[in-house]
Amino acid sequence: MFKNTISNLARIRQVVEVLVRYGFEDVVTNTALRRLITQKRRLSWQHAERAVFETSRWERIRMVIEELGPTFIKLAQAMSNRPDLLPEALIDEFQKLQSDVPPFDVRVARTIIERELGRPITEVFSEFEEKPLGSASIGQVHKAKLLTGEDVVVKVQRPDVQEKVRTDLSLLHELVRLTAGFLRNHGLSNPQDIVDAFERSMMKELDYTSEARSMDQFRKLYENYETFYIPKPYRELSSAKILVIEFVSGCKITDKAQLLEWKLSPEKVAETGMDIYLTQIFEFGIFHADPHPGNVLVRPDGTLVLIDFGMVGKLTKQQKYAFAGVFIGMARQDARSMALNFRRLALTADIPDMRTFEADLNDLIEDFTTLDVKEMSMSDLADRLQVIIYDYKLQVPGAVFLILRALVILEGIGKVLHPRFNTFEFVRPYGARIIAEQYSTENILSEAQYTGTQLLALIQTLPADVRQIMRKISRGDLRLKVELSGYQALMRTADQLVSRTIIALIAVAFLLFSGLSLLGRYSPDMRYLHGIPVITWWSLGITGFLFLILLILGTKKRKD
């Protein structure tokens, strides 16, 4: 830990400077970060100009993130999908963040490709466009042509990006360690878990083979769909740092003029897109988590194409049933059913008052069931659901928020193409399918088999467990471990008080000895200084030293 702190010291100081610049002295002064700031610098804060306070606190948090760079931007973008953890105003600011960066030199890109392929680029590609199609914080994309004639795109990871991301992730862990108490006091109960989850996500994003596997998985699921296509990844030409994918031409799904020119029905395209996405959620339980218009293309024959599988969400079967149950309960105007399915969906759901929870859900149902079809909005519903999740501190799977966000994006696309587009009407038949699947004979037998297996395992291990407990009781070896949490700070304070009391008592003892030593009768060998025995001077010196220690400890406590 000490080694990591030293290696990250310069970067941590930079973070502190940025926090101070945007008016977050409280984050620094109320955490261990204050130790990194000199007394002179602390005084200068008190006289600094505060024009930055003309903006809101949430805007200033976004400014801090923007200045700290790509890794922090990606963390904030990931957190913008977690309204169960952050207030709505902060999420709105995080959604404004852009991670686009200038492309790097094409010569560097060629070098990386050749190193990963283990051969010259001319032995693989007959053409390679120098100008990238796009660039981002992790890598950039070039169009190329294989020697066999196929048009492809090549994603190339930025040089040294893995080392930079790992350094910033190490820094994030260190910052969380230094500010954990402050973050918890401000409502972020599990900051370390958030950074751990983000680290896993980033490590996966840095490995292009993961994206290739996702594409192959989707291709297999949709191999019989004539209206939907996923580009082919060339796994044999790809690695963790480069990804070669089939190039697919088409227009953005929102390019209504081009669709009409191709004599395609925009309404039919919108319906097909929503149908494909809902099958991903409610049938397969795996879905493309970023269906913005740039990632959804339409071919001249009307086939829809999804690109960029860097962000994929997954739901387990039970999560899929619970998520569908929330919408089914709403359609049936059954607040209790919605509440029960929310509890099934949540990873942890300690709801103190279920009646109040059901009442809030009932208000939501009443608000939306009285709306006209034209007034109903997936965006409004998602916002209301996310507020309820945040207010009741429900820890639901992150995939749920990715789905809500994706449905809002798809609704926006649908309304561009389809004047009567209604997301709820598309979702309704899938609810009926989910109910049929959940209560099908096959699923009931599967659940019964799983429950039976668990019960059998319990029965098999129970006698041995009981025998072991009884044996420990008979030997007097059974111990109960009780762990008290939340008393660490109190124990540290008590320990400091005891230490200071002991030092003070020793100092008083030496002071008393100094006074008594003046009354003593000593041998002629005793040395005197200014008429006072040397032993008295020694005793007074020790007393003064001990009182100096107490003074230093008291001053340090006031600064802390």
What six digits make up the tokens of 140?
């950039």
Q: What is the dihedral of CA 77, 79, 82, 87, to 10 degrees?
A: -100
CA-based end-to-end distance of the chain:
22
Is 219 strand, coil or helix? Answer: helix
On whether the CB atoms of residues 89 and 56 are closer than 8 A, the answer is yes
Phi, psi of 304 (to 5 degrees): -90, 140
Distance CA 125, CA 216 (A): 23
Is 303 strand, coil or helix? Answer: coil
Distance CA 50, CA 46 (A): 10
Tell me how crowded residue 61 is: count the other CB atoms within 10 A of its CB. 21
Is 230 strand, coil or helix? Answer: coil
Single-letter residue type at 100: D
Q: Please tell me the number of Cα atoms within 13 Å of 23 on its side-chain side.
A: 15
What are the strands, taking DSSP E only, across 139-272? Answer: 139-146, 151-157, 228-229, 242-246, 251-252
Pairing of strands 312-314, 286-288: antiparallel
Is 290 noted as a catalytic residue in this protein? yes
Distance CA 228, CA 248 (A): 12
* Cα angle for residues 276, 277, 282 (degrees, 5° grid): 100
Q: Which three-class secondary structure string do you get for 236-296?
A: HHCCCCEEEEECCCCEECCCHHHHHHCCCCHHHHHHHHHHHHHHHHHHHCEEECCCCHHHE
| Catalytic residue of the set 290, 308, 334, 360 | 290
Let me know if 273 is exposed, middle or buried by CB neighbors in 10 A (0-12, 13-18, 19+): buried
What six digits make up the tokens of 90?
């902060």
What six digits make up the tokens of 61?
């948090």
Distance CA 99, CA 70 (A): 6
Q: Please tell me the number of Cα atoms within 13 Å of 32 on its side-chain side.
A: 11
Please report the DSSP string for 40-97 in residue order. Answer: HHHHHHTTS--GGGGS-HHHHHHHHHHHH-HHHHHHHHHHTT-TTTS-HHHHHHHTT-
Is 31 strand, coil or helix? Answer: coil
Tokens 């009741």 -> residue: 392
Instruction: List Cβ neighbours of 199 (8 Å cut-off, separation of 6 or more).
Output: 169, 172, 173
Please give the positions annotated as active site.
290
